[in-house]
Amino acid sequence: MSAVALVPGANTAIPGDGTIGVAIGWAPAAPAGMEIDASAFMIGADGTVLSDEHFVFYGAAQGPGGTVRFLPTLSTGVPGDIQGFEIDLPAVPPTVQSIDICLTIHEGQTRGQKFSSLSGVVARVMAAGTEVARFDLSTGGMSETAITLMKVYRRNDAWKVRAVGQGFAGGLAPLARQYGVDIAEDEAASAPPQPAPPPPAPEPAPSSVNLSKVTLEKRGQSVSLDKKAGAAGYGEIIFNLNWNEQPQQQSAQPSRGLFGGLGNLGGGRNRGIDLDLGCLWDLRDGDKGAVQALGESWGRYDGPPFIRHAGDDRTGALAQGETIRINGDRITAISRILVYAFIYEGAPNWAAADGIATVRVPGQPDIEVRLDNPRSGFGMCAIALIENIGGTLRVTKEERYFRGHRDMDEAYGWGLRWTAGSKD
Amino acid sequence: MAVSLSKGGNVSLSKEAPGLTAVNVGLGWDPRVTDGSAFDLDASAFLLNEGGKVRADTDFIFYNNLKSTDGSVEHLGDNTTGVGEGDDEVVSIDLSRVPADVNKIAFTVTIHEPEARKQNFGQVANAFIRVVNKADNKEIARYDLSEDYSTETALIFGEIYRHGSEWKFKAVGQGFAGGLGPLAKNYGVNIG
């Protein structure tokens, strides 16, 4: 028997009365920055769940009695199968009239993601090892972020499946509400299908594949980093700053990568924004200092302060931007590091620079800090504070703007003496 | 107690409600709860002769022609409220005044612009048709279409027809391809 292809609204009988599998897939399988999760609602005659336990999802992978089981990763060998469910039809309590299979885009509305961003959304119903029905959802123009994909339901003492493909632009909260599951609005974003919500909670375990970045959005927000299992330290921690050079006359100087840094020789025309990345460091032995290009304080990686500036990129056109390497295996020697950027050349126009700082720790999701809250006229920005708290690294977004090194130093009580310097 | 019919079943209204002279035929369905275009469903009635055709175009009772020329059949309009709980649309029929050459009245529901809205009856939940005695407002017969439809966009819900001196009601639940226009043509209406 060949599988019945369903269109929305169509239904077909499920042959046999054993355990069925529902395989769900979409394409691309791992869309950048998107998290897609399947869930199932075991509902009664009134269309709502019999209890909160009848909502089967990532966080509660089995319904009561284990009759509906969520499979977060499918290994059917069929391309496109990503997540799925096993449903033990004969054991499903008679009060359950339908098991509605849903698909949600995590935080789709806030991230501006919807089902029209996906293609190849498919649900296949397998009985006795054979595909008996499939539903290929046409996602064109869909503004929904949470949908009911299909219903597996009782009809005259037998089980049927119906293709639905309807849902809500507002995401999981209205979908769950439809099924009688109340999700508080503020929880909705981080509720179900989410292995580990972003800050301030701990990072996901290194074993889980999480391609998403952790973005520290608000000043004062912080994230603690777990060490890789079995590792003595954190390995090489990369602190990178990248920005848009934003030349004022793009067409006049096509080779700005070569000449951008010398823009001030051209009478001030075509001058790009030159950000310098640096850090103040404070070791546990009481030694303290700064690592930055200005003054050629490059630092050392294998010895104190275990921080090394990777060089000066004065254009920002290089993909790497400016980088500081921190020896995470010597974290015990370090007390705190304040990473900062300052505008050496050009007007202190942070908005135009559109700076983005990334902290990269081996085995951890990247941490991003965007310099998106600029204070004009202030050329110095403290980006992030990295602290050693009992051997665990904590990264806190600072994004505080200062007139210069001295003001910043005083604000953080570092206690260094500052003199004017120049790169030329 | 009302008779609950399944597809193809029929019941004698005259026997169930002796002395019956007028009925309200209520048609209903669940509104769409998900996002997207609402279900715009239109109920119509066709006054049909022995041959199953309208006697004239005016026997097609719908949103642009709410009342039959003799006044015996009246569509009470979209989303009537207060006439029986749950009815989305109601057709009122004075059986005693239905002309003798009208043998049957068919009740249909069609989805407005189904292609553009990508809708069919399989997405509409809990569709029903019921016949209520106007004299005491009691339900005489009811037909829940539930699974008797799927990807149709036009459905004949039921029929009220003469059987000797009685009036009977039949649960039809039959789909019709193409929507209201072709459906009306099939009943002999001249659609411009």
Query: What number of helices (H) and strands (E) belong to chain A?
Result: 6, 25
Q: With contact defined as beta carbons under 8 Å apart, do A287 and A415 qualify?
A: no
Q: Stretch A329-350: mean pLDDT, rounded?
A: 81
Residue in A closest to B38 by C-alpha: A166
Rg (CA), chain B: 16
Decide if A8 and B33 are in contact by the 8 Å CB cutoff: no
A183-198 confidence digits (pLDDT tens):
654 444 444 444 444 4
The answer, for A164 touching chain B at a CB cutoff of 8 Å, is yes
Q: What is the mean pLDDT of chain A?
A: 78
Question: What would be the CATH architecture of the domain defined by A214-412?
Answer: Sandwich (2.60)
Residue A211 confidence (pLDDT): 24
Residues in chain B with pLDDT values less than 70: 78-85, 192
Contact criterion met (CB < 8 Å) for A143 and B35: yes
Q: What is the average per-residue pLDDT within A232-239? A: 80
Fold agreement (A4-188, A214-412)? yes
By Cβ distance, the residue of A11, A144, A155 closest to B35 is: A144
The answer, yes or no, to whether residue A321 has pLDDT greater than 70, is yes
Distances (CA, A) of B106 to B53, B61, B170: 10, 10, 9
Put simply, the answer to whether A8 touches B123 (Cβ < 8 Å) is yes
Domain residue ranges of chain B, discontinuous segments joined by +: 3-186
Which residues does residue B48 pair with via DSSP β-bridges, in sequence order?
A: B54, B104
Note the pLDDT of residue A366: 73
pLDDT recorded at residue A229: 53
Provide the pLDDT for residue A208. Answer: 26
Nearest chain B residue to A46, by CA: B126
- SS3 label, residue A33: coil
> Per the confidence metrics, is the pTM higher than 0.95?
no
Q: Among A97-101, A211-215, A368-372, B65-69, which stretch is predicted with the lowest mean pLDDT?
A: A211-215
Residues A93 and A66 sit within 8 Å (Cβ to Cβ): no
Which residues of chain B lie closer than 8 angstroms to A178, CB-CB? 33-34
Using alpha carbons, select from A122, A139, A125, A53 the residue that is nearest to residue A89.
A125
Contact A370, A356 (CB under 8 A): yes
Distance from CA of B97 to the nearest CA of A (A): 40
What are the structure tokens assigned to A126, written together?
A: 């397998």
A105 touches chain B (CB under 8 A): no
A340: alpha, beta or left, given left = phi > 0 and alpha = psi -120 to 50? Answer: beta
Mean pLDDT of A371-386: 79
- Please state the rounded mean pLDDT for residues A313-334: 72
Which class is A4-188 in CATH? mainly beta
Give me the pLDDT at residue A30, please.
82
Contacts (Cβ under 8 Å, ≥6 apart) of A225: A203, A234, A361, A364, A392, A393, A394, A395
Pairwise CA distance, residues B31 & B27, whole Å: 13
C-alpha–C-alpha distance, residues B85 and A341, integer Å: 69
pLDDT score of A216: 66
Answer yes or no: do B150 and A9 touch at CB < 8 A: yes
Do B122 and A11 make contact, defined as CB atoms within 8 angstroms?
A: yes
Structure tokens at A419: 């003199």
pLDDT tier at A252, thresholds 50, 70, 90: very low
pLDDT tens across A53-86, in order?
899 988 788 888 899 999 988 877 777 889 999 9
Over residues A8-29, the mean pLDDT reads 90
CATH fold of B3-186 reads Lipoxygenase-1 (2.60.60)
How much is the pLDDT for B130?
A: 94
> Rounded CA gap, B26 and B128, in Å?
8
The per-residue DSSP string of A292-311 comes to ETTTTB-EESSSTT-EEE--
Residue with token string 């509305």: A109
Q: Which two tokens stand for residue B52?
A: 């199953």
Q: Given this model, what pLDDT does residue A228 score?
A: 57
Mark yes or no for CB contact B122/A10 under 8 Å. Answer: yes
| Residue A156, pLDDT score | 83
- Which residues pair with residue A380 across a beta bridge? A342, A402
CB A125 within 8 A of CB A176: no
* Per-residue confidence (pLDDT) for residue A317, from 0 to 100: 44
Question: How far apart are the C-alpha atoms of A152 and A21, rounded to whole Å?
Answer: 11
What's the pLDDT tens digit per position in A284-304?
888 999 998 878 888 888 888
Best of A4, A7, A102, A105 to disrupt the B interface by mutation (most B CBs within 10 Å)? A7
Say how far apart CA A36 and CA A145 lie, in whole Å: 10
Asked whether the beta carbons of residue A8 and residue B120 sit closer than 8 angstroms, the reply is yes
Closest chain A CA to residue B153: A9
Ordered by start, the domain boundaries in chain A are 4-188, 214-412
Asked if B36's CB is within 8 angstroms of A144's CB, the reply is: yes
Query: Residue B106 corresponds to which tokens in the numbers above?
Result: 């068919």
- For chains A and B, CB pairs below 8 A equal 45
Residues 6 or more apart whose Cβ sits within 8 Å of residue B114: B120, B153, B179
Across the interface, do B120 and A160 touch by the CB < 8 Å criterion?
no
Please give the Cα distance from A303 to A343 (Å, whole number): 29
Average pLDDT over residues A161-167: 94
**With an 8 Å Cβ cutoff, is A10 touching chain B?**
yes
